[in-house]
Amino acid sequence: MNNFNKLNRKTILALILTILFVVGISGFYSYKFISKSTTPIQALSATVKKGDVTSSISLSGQVATANYLSVTTSVNGIVKEVFVKEGDQVYTGQNLMEITLDSEGEKSRISAYSAYLKAQNSLTSAKNSTNSLEVAELQAKKAFKDEKEQNSYQTAEERIAFKVAENDYMVSKNNISMKQAEIEQLELSLSNAWLDYLAQSPVVTAPTDGIIASVLAVKGSKIENSVTSDRSVQTVASIKKEGTPIASLNVGELDINNVKVGQRVNLTLTALEGQKFTGTVAGIDKIGSSQSGVPNYPVIVKFDKPSDRILPNMNVSAEIIVDQKNNVLLIPTGAIQTGRGKSMVKVKNGDGVEEVEVKTGISDSDNTEIISGLNEGDEVVINTLPTTGFTSGQSQTQFRGVGSFGGFGGR
């Protein structure tokens, strides 16, 4: 029995020694493999230099108006004569074309003229009735004044008489106010009736001064408007007015408070490749709208110069200049890391680096202004890259252990 226990203990001891040996060998070769595969890290760095920086907001939108005005007609018929051609100078009220009305067109014109006469008669009747109301108001006013001067307010009858006179005067004043409001409404109706009648005229006239940009009808053309809407119209020409185009841009909620009226804008148009335009922020819609929970605020930009090639609804890309600074300290934005309310930069110091807190200013897509914390000529670490395949126009210095920022330190 004792010999068996001794043999058993020797077997266990041999097994333990074997396991320790295997683990040791494995650890040794693993260490050698890891050591050989470790590649020195190459840190990309840049020099703090002075330069210019522009902070901007990139947006998109469309040309809202290019000072083109459509010339429309509501009539049905055949074009009898066209009096203008593209490029002609025209003036407000000038005849542009004449249309021979069909039977439906004649009926519409007669109906519109009848509505105009009816509106005119209603206005005349209202104005005539105003005269009698004004007389009644003057009489009530005099009666009220007399009652105030003569009434001693001693008896109940005298107090009642004063109240009656006062009420009659207030009623007469209210009647005048109501009649004036009615007249204003009738004047508006008369104006609309006249415009409806003009819209049924066989002669199409220029609504404004300008240059004929296009003529969309020729002699013999059929003018036929749809009856699916209350006031259908057909465009027969367009007029180019003097002035510069206007673009409407959509600004998101994160940028809208940085946009101000008067800021300069650089613009390009998809349809006019290679051409660059400038403009100014002319208006900001601070109410905006929301689609699918995403708010947008329209901003109006006025082009600096007119162009016949800029047409309504063309797609626009714009860059609103928020701020510009010249001859300031700059570093690549990628060299800055933020945390705990601080901005930190790794600065080369001999064979190592140290973390420095900096105060930043404006930035563009590549660089950030440094207000304090760095000096011109300092070398800052941007990021880390393996030595193999590294290419960059910026300087590269080999470091071990250069990576993300640890605890924030300082100089």
Query: 92: phi > 0 → left, psi -120 to 50 → alpha, else beta; which?
Result: beta
Least confident of 29-33, 140-144, 403-407: 403-407
Does residue 156 register a pLDDT over 80? no
* Residue 403: predicted pLDDT: 37
| Lowest model confidence (mean pLDDT) among 108-112, 161-165, 196-200, 345-349 | 161-165
| pLDDT tens column, 58-85 | 999 999 887 888 898 888 899 999 999 9
pLDDT tens-digit profile of 309-365?
898 899 999 999 999 999 999 999 888 888 888 899 999 888 888 899 999 999 888
Amino acid occupying residue 377: G
Domain 42-54+326-399: assigned CATH number:
2.40.420.20
Stretch among 105-109, 263-267, 382-386, 395-399 having the lowest mean pLDDT: 395-399
Asked if 197 contacts 151 with a C-beta cutoff of 8 angstroms, the reply is no
* 68-239 is classed CATH 1.10.3470: no
* Residue 264: pLDDT band with limits 50, 70, 90: very high
Query: How does residue 22 score in pLDDT terms, banded at 50, 70 and 90?
Result: low
- The structural domains of the chain, with segments of one domain joined by +, span 1-38, 42-54+326-399, 68-239
The enclosing H or E element of 343 equals strand 342-349
Question: What is the model's pLDDT at position 212?
Answer: 94
Distances (CA, A) of 343 to 203, 237, 358, 371, 373: 71, 61, 6, 12, 10
How confident is the model at residue 128, as a pLDDT?
85
Whole-angstrom Cα distance, residue 334 to residue 341? 17
What would the pLDDT profile of 135-150 be if each residue is shown by its tens digit? 778 887 877 777 777 7
Where helices occur in 151-204 by DSSP H, the ranges are 156-199
Which range (53-67, 106-120, 143-157, 182-196) has the least confidence?
143-157
- What's the confidence (pLDDT) of residue 197? 87
What is residue 114's three-state secondary structure?
A: helix
Query: Whole-prediction pTM value?
Result: 0.55
Among the listed residues 235, 396, 253, 264, the one whose alpha carbon sits nearest the alpha carbon of residue 323: 264
Cβ count within 10 A of residue 228: 6
pLDDT tier, 126 (very low <50, low <70, confident <90, very high otherwise): confident
Band of pLDDT at residue 231, cut at 50, 70 and 90: low
| Contact criterion met (CB below 8 Å) for 189 and 122 | yes
Q: Does residue 42 carry a pLDDT above 70?
A: no
Residue 393 confidence (pLDDT): 37
Q: Name the token pair of 146.
A: 């007399």
Residue 279 CB partners (closer than 8 Å, separation 6+): 244, 247, 264, 265, 267, 301, 302, 303, 304, 318
DSSP 339: E
- Split at pLDDT 50, 70, 90, the class of 399 is very low
Most confident of 12-16, 92-96, 196-200, 287-291: 92-96
Better-scored residue on pLDDT, 20 or 368? 368
Supply the mean pLDDT for the chain: 81
pLDDT over 70 (residue 34): no
